Amino acid sequence: MQPNKYNSLSCGAVFILLAFTSEVAAKSFLVEQRKSSVRGSLDAGVLERDLSSAMGEALGCGGHVDEKHLASIEAQLAPMWRTFPKTAEGNIERRSLRYLIHRHFSRTSALHIRGFEPSRPADASGWGSADILSQRVPAFVESVLQSKHKLELGFSLNDAAHVVATIEQLIYDFEGSVLEKVYRQQHKPLTRSLSSQGVEQLLESYMVHWLLGDDEEGIRLLLGNRSLIESTVPHWDQVVAFTKGLIRELDYKRRHLPNEALAAASARPGHNALAAKYSFEDVHGLVGGITKSFASFWESECASMKSALVAMDAHSTGRVPLSKFYSSALNAEWRFGESESYLRDLGALDETSWLGKQVIIPNYIQAASNCIVSSQHYLVCCANDCEGLLEEIENKVGASTAEPSEI
């Protein structure tokens, strides 16, 4: 079972996800490759049906997106949407769509979705083979993607909202697959309800899997030696306290906000709120909360890094001389060791100043090397301090252009 807002994700609407992907990986994590092929010469109606079928297989969906959730996403996207240049049809082009989706997840959860990074070349024709869309879309739709239908007409606000809803679902599915793995390792049946102590044990193991990603050897070593976890993972005791806090939050909702708990699928009709038992769906909801809120929990580490950089900014320009940046790394600062070419690729190196090469502080803080979690499909990064300023400007201006005096 999945959260109510995803129970019936629209297969018909998510076809727009594929129109801006020109290359699709041959393997899919959710479906096997379909043996039959699809001809590339299709009209718009056939295109929509075939892509609907493809995404239906990939996501296992049917019906329509929960309208309240879709409306909520559109409301969140609208201020940014209004400031984007539009096509003659009032839509946005693919590059703008990618930027919009990146900004949305960065603003709401400090997530950087693979394939939507702003550092990718603006004229890139595809998202690569490692991004969340290519991983989850069946290979048989590749020839269909040659259609220029959406690329010519552009993407509407409703299209963008469906992209967000679909990526949310894909992330939710990914979290579920990791959680199932932890259940199996602890020999816990998915159908058995667990005590609060059992859930705490699960979440501790889940956090190790989530933080280390594909490092199977590292995961095995840490799970086999708790003292090693405490010495390896920064602030592990606080991480454990964070997960326990999510359990207590769920218990509070069950006791004092039963309707809200039911709507979020964290309680079942007839459930005794005083009996602390948790189904797989309950725990799945908890790990979803971890993804969405972990950046806020980790903000103190980001603030510490920012303070160290600002202290080196003698001219208050938001930049640090490259020489000073590297000298701090030599003086026992474990961060700030990225190569000059890497900083350049990130857009974090200013080579135009008369003061010499300098590291741009906000760009550097948003670098992938500073992200807290690096999963297969997304990164959990430091919150972008610029988002608050951009949001205020977008809400006030509400258009793609404005007079300097207005800004």
Report the SS3 class of residue 319.
strand
pLDDT greater than 80 at residue 168: yes
- Which of residues 50 and 107 earns the better pLDDT score? 107
Least confident window among 46-60, 78-92, 309-323, 392-406: 46-60
**How many whole angstroms from its chain centre is CA 7?**
20
348 phi, psi to nearest 5 deg? -105, 5
pTM: 0.76
* Per-residue confidence (pLDDT) for residue 132, from 0 to 100: 54
Q: Distance (Å, rounded) from C-alpha 147 to C-alpha 53?
A: 16
C-alpha to C-alpha distance for 253 and 348, rounded to whole angstroms? 43
Which residue has better confidence, 37 or 359? 359
**pLDDT (0 to 100) of residue 223:** 92
Name the band, by pLDDT with cuts 50, 70 and 90, for residue 255: confident
* Cβ atoms of residues 61 and 12 within 8 Å: no
Give tens-digit pLDDT for 42-62: 344 544 554 454 445 444 444
Does the pLDDT at position 40 exceed 60?
no
pLDDT 10s digits, 61-98: 443 567 888 899 999 999 999 999 998 889 888 788 88
- The pLDDT confidence band at residue 6, using thresholds 50, 70 and 90, is very low
| Local structure of 379: helix, strand or coil | strand
Burial of 273 (0-12, 13-18, 19+ CB in 10 A): middle
pLDDT, tens only, 200-249: 999 999 999 999 988 899 999 999 998 899 888 888 999 999 999 999 99
Is a pLDDT exceeding 90 seen at residue 41?
A: no
The 10s digit of each residue's pLDDT in 351-370 is: 998 889 999 999 899 888 88
Across the beta sheet with 378-380, the strand order is 111-113, 378-380, 373-374
341 within 8 A of 71, measured Cβ to Cβ: no
Are the C-beta atoms of 203 and 282 separated by less than 8 Å? no
Which residues touch 160 (CB under 8 Å, ≥6 apart)? Answer: 77, 81, 92, 97, 100, 101
Distance CA 387, CA 112 (A): 14
Closest Cα to residue 3, out of 165, 160, 111, 157? 165
